[in-house]
């Protein structure tokens, strides 16, 4: 598909990063204040485990997230932490 349409290079690169990016291992973080996430209250100074790989598979953001599609607009992936828009 990419050979047939080289203009897909940007979306293909973003899809590779979204689908199998460098941050596949979950990371530990600490809350600095009480946080409410989806109705669950996480107290201040609590250890939390985050996974950017899981965020890159959110079906609300990426329809059919388990499919590798180079024609997908995956520019808002979190492969680098805050996504490409933050760079």
Q: Which H helix or E strand runs over 5?
A: none
> Cα dihedral sign for 16, 23, 57, 74?
negative
Backbone φ and ψ of 61, nearest 5°: -100, -35
Task: Determine the pLDDT at residue 22.
Answer: 67
Put simply, whether the predicted model's pTM sits higher than 0.75 gets the answer no
pLDDT digits (tens, 9 = 90+) for 22-60: 666 777 888 999 999 889 999 999 998 887 777 788 888
Q: SS3 letters for 17-53?
A: HHHHCCCCCCEEEECCCCEEECCEEECCCCEEEECHH
């Amino acid at each position: 598909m990419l050979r047939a349409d080289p203009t897909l290079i940007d979306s293909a690169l973003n899809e590779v990063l979204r689908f199998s990016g460098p941050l596949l291992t979950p990371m530990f973080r600490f809350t600095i204040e009480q946080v409410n996430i989806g109705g669950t209250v996480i107290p201040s100074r609590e250890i939390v485990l985050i996974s950017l790989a899981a965020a890159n598979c959110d079906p609300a953001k990426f329809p059919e997230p388990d499919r590798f599609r180079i024609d997908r607009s995956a520019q808002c992936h979190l492969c680098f932490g805050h996504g490409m828009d933050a760079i």
